[in-house]
Every structure is written in structure tokens, then in C-alpha cells.
Amino acid sequence: MNVRVRAHILTAAVIGIITALLAAALLAGALPAAPRSVLAALAGLAAAAIAAEYVARAGRGRVTALATSAQRSAEAMSRQLEELSKDRARMEAILSGMVEGVFVLDRQGRVQLVNRAAQEMLHVDSSAIGRLYLEVIRHPDISAQLATALRGETVDADELPLGRDLSRLFMARAAPVAGAGGGAVLVLHDITDLKRADQIRRDFVANVSHELRTPLTAIRGYVEALAEGPDAEQTRRFVEIIARHSLRMERLVADLLRLARLDARQEVLDSAPCEVQQIFTAVVTDLAQTVEDKRQRVVLAVAPDACSITADPAKLHDVVRNLVENAVNYSPEQAEIQLAAARQDGALVITVSDTGPGIPESDLTRIFERFYRVDKARTRPGGTGLGLAIVRHLVELHGGSVKAENRKTGGAMFTVTLPS
């Protein structure tokens, strides 16, 4: 090999090494987590590729074989770069789509990665990359977990309130990164909804137990009284009380079973044209005795354009009955209850209003929960405590909505909106 060819090879190698180092530096900046060994290998391949191209242009005898080998190395490097780019894209897609927050530190405690969920949970942005975690994270418990993980120690998961108003609850756990590089990883899980669901379940079990225990205790007491052989009048009165409590338990079980079917989406709509006035009249007839006993009055008002709707007549009757029965039970004697229907933006709007004390603002959003009572110290005046929960499910089954609000003139008003 002559001096000129050797010069070509040396020049190509130098240019290749410089180019490879620049490429490696760029890759290191774009991929802070890339291993140094991979970057070194890519730099060598880049040098070989450029040298091969340079030597191939020199075109000197034996050098052709070297150029062919280097060209193959360049093609292998290109494939590796392409795979590396694909892996990076996959990693970014996975991290961006995760609902869990991921926060990665190097062994010096500098932030290497923060996915979108972690940015929202910790109220940081992409400018946190490269900074010390103590400059970014303001929560002392999370900082303590990361400090422990950076020392290589095991960290127990902890429930922490986060957010600007500390209304969200998170499960936070930091873990050390094994290997020569070291570092730490923090994972955040939002468990607010799980905690709320668990509390609702606990309340539900407690309320069912209470609602069943009350009539069962009464029935047992009167059965023991009957066993002592009271006179005929007392026997008749005891039997009536037992029958009333048995009916209450029967209604409670029936409502619980219906809610279970609604939750499981086992109830289907049997839609047909319905006359709104007929449904209102039937509900008032069903509750006539209770209304009369409390000397109340139910006023009906159906707008001319709201006389009919296509819906499940039986389920719509249940919706209206539960709302009117709730108004009757919670309104004082001689109160007036208004039951109205009108059209609004093409939808049928049914309102049930009373002149009672109304509902505290803090309870309006929870009034449709099962067994929920506005006044915890008062006993339920009637019903099973599941009526409004059933109303919400039946209305949503029709594709509509229901809400509760207080009237400016006093009293509460429930509004059901059903699509036409």
C-alpha cells in the first residue's frame, strides 16, 4: 500500500472518529439514559463507515475489500441506530400513556425523566430535566423517599396527599436503580377514586346492616310479646306492627336487588309512547293516602308540548313516584308539592318541587348516594333510602340526567331531563 493510500486511510479515520464523537455527543444529549458502551460502539461504527467510503473513493487494489467490510459495518450501524430510535419512541409512548407518574434520577440526584402524569401530579414541567430533585420536588415525604433510594436502601410505599388543595391521595414508592449507574425511580399511583369507592362500600354495608337490624329487632320483640299470650286487641296490634316491619324489609331487599340489576346493566328499556299526564295521575293516586294523612297537596302542570314522550312507561313511573314520595316524606304537613313537565331545547324536563326546608348546599352533590341522609341525627321518615339512587340509574338508563337544587322561594326541586 503506497503512501498516498495510507494518507487517505488516515485522513478518513480521523474524520470518521471526529464525526462519530459528535454523533455520540448528540445521542447522549438526546438520550440521557443511553449506556456509554452503546455510544462508544456506535462511534466506532461511524468511524469505520466514513473511512470505508473515503477509501472506496481512493479505489486502490486491496483497499476495495476493506471498503466493502467497512460498508457492511456502516449498514449494521444504521440498523442499530434505527432500532435505537424505535426503542426510544416506544419508551416515550409507553411513559406518556401511563396513568402512573414516573420520576427517574441519576446517582447524583439529577432528574433524568419525568413523564406527563408525574408532571401533573408534582406540578413540574420538562424544565426539571437535569436539575437536582430537591430543586424540583417540594413535598418533604417524597424527597425523603428519594434520598433513601439514592443511598440504595429499600423504601416502603406511603400514602400521601398531593395537589394544590391536597384533595388527591397518592401511593408513592421510590426504589433504587441496580447497576453501576445507580440512581432512583419514583412511581406515583392516584388512589383517590379507589379510597372513595372503598369508603362508599363501607358506608353501604353499615347502612344495610342498620336498616335490616332495626325492623328485625322490632319483629323479634313483638314475637316475644306474642309468646306471652296477650289479649286479642294487643295481639292484633302486634301482628300489624310485625307486618309493617316485614314489608319494610321486603321493600329494602327488592330495592337492593333492583340496584344490583341496574349496576350490572341487566335492566333493559321497553320503550313506547307515554302520556305524561297519565303517569303523573297514576303516581298521585298511588300516594293519595300518604298525601291525605299529612294534609298535603300535589299540583300537576303539564305543558301542551310536553304531553308525550317515547320512554319505558314502567320505569318512568318509578322515577316520578320515587321523587314525589321523597317530597311527601320530607315535607312538613300542609305543604304543597308541584309536579310539572315542559319542553326545553327539545328535551322533556320533569320537575318535582316542594316548600319544605330545602337541602344544605354541601349535601346536594351526595343526595343521590345510597342510604345518604341530610341529617344524620334524624331517623328516615319513610322509604328504604335507596329511592333517589334508583332514580338516578333509571334516568341515566334513558340517556338523561337528574339533579337537585334549592328554590329561591324555599324548598327543594328535583329536575329530570330526558332526551326526546
321 and 209 in one domain?
no
Whether the Cβ atoms of residue 275 and residue 308 lie closer than 8 Å to each other: yes
185 and 218 in one domain?
no
Whether the Cβ atoms of residue 117 and residue 135 lie closer than 8 Å to each other: no
> What is the pLDDT tens value at each position of the chain, 420 positions in all?
454 555 445 444 444 444 454 444 444 444 444 444 444 455 555 555 555 555 555 555 555 666 677 677 777 888 888 888 877 777 777 777 787 888 889 888 899 888 888 888 888 888 888 889 888 888 888 889 899 989 888 888 888 887 666 678 888 889 998 876 788 999 998 888 888 888 877 877 777 777 778 788 888 888 888 888 777 888 888 888 888 888 878 878 887 888 888 888 888 888 999 999 999 999 999 999 989 989 999 999 999 988 999 999 999 999 999 999 988 988 888 889 999 999 998 899 999 998 877 888 878 878 888 777 665 544 455 566 788 888 999 999 999 999 999 988 888 899 999 997
Cα angle for residues 123, 124, 126 (degrees, 5° grid): 150
CA distance 251 to 166: 41
117 and 248 in one domain?
no
412 and 278 in one domain?
yes
pLDDT at 31: 42
CB atoms < 10 A from the CB of 218, how many?
16
231 and 124 in one domain?
no
289 and 256 in one domain?
no
Please state whether 340 falls in left (phi above 0), alpha (psi between -120 and 50) or beta.
Answer: beta
What is the secondary structure of 71-93 as a DSSP string?
A: HHHHHHHHHHHHHHHHHHHHHHH
393 and 282 in one domain?
yes
Identify which of 103, 149, 147 has the alpha carbon closest to the alpha carbon of residue 125. Answer: 103
Whether the Cβ atoms of residue 142 and residue 162 lie closer than 8 Å to each other: no
Percent helix, strand, coil in the chain (nearest 5)?
55, 20, 25
412 beta partners:
406
| Domain final residue, candidates 142, 161, 190 | 190
CA distance 258 to 387: 11
- CATH number, position 409: 3.30.565.10
Identify which of 289, 281, 301, 318 has the alpha carbon closest to the alpha carbon of residue 395. Answer: 318
C-alpha count within 13 angstroms, C-beta hemisphere, residue 85: 6
pLDDT at 383: 61
220 and 185 in one domain?
no
- CATH number, position 109: 3.30.450.20
pLDDT at 240: 85
- CATH number, position 211: 1.10.287.130
CA distance 24 to 21: 5
CA distance 354 to 336: 6
Cα 18 off chain centre by: 53
| Domain final residue, candidates 95, 116, 144 | 95
Look-up of cell digits 449494521:
76
CA distance 100 to 190: 7
Residue 71 in grid coordinates: 460498508
pLDDT at 82: 82
153 and 240 in one domain?
no
385 and 280 in one domain?
yes
Instruction: Tally the domains of the chain.
Output: 4
Residue 70 domain boundaries? 3-95
276 and 259 in one domain?
no
pTM score over 0.85: no
pLDDT at 418: 93
CA distance 230 to 228: 6
Helix or strand or coil: residue 413? Answer: strand
CA distance 357 to 332: 9
Helix or strand or coil: residue 247? Answer: helix
Whether the Cβ atoms of residue 271 and residue 311 lie closer than 8 Å to each other: yes
- Total residues belonging to the chain: 420
154 and 130 in one domain?
yes
| Domain final residue, candidates 95, 114, 129 | 95
Cα 330 off chain centre by: 33
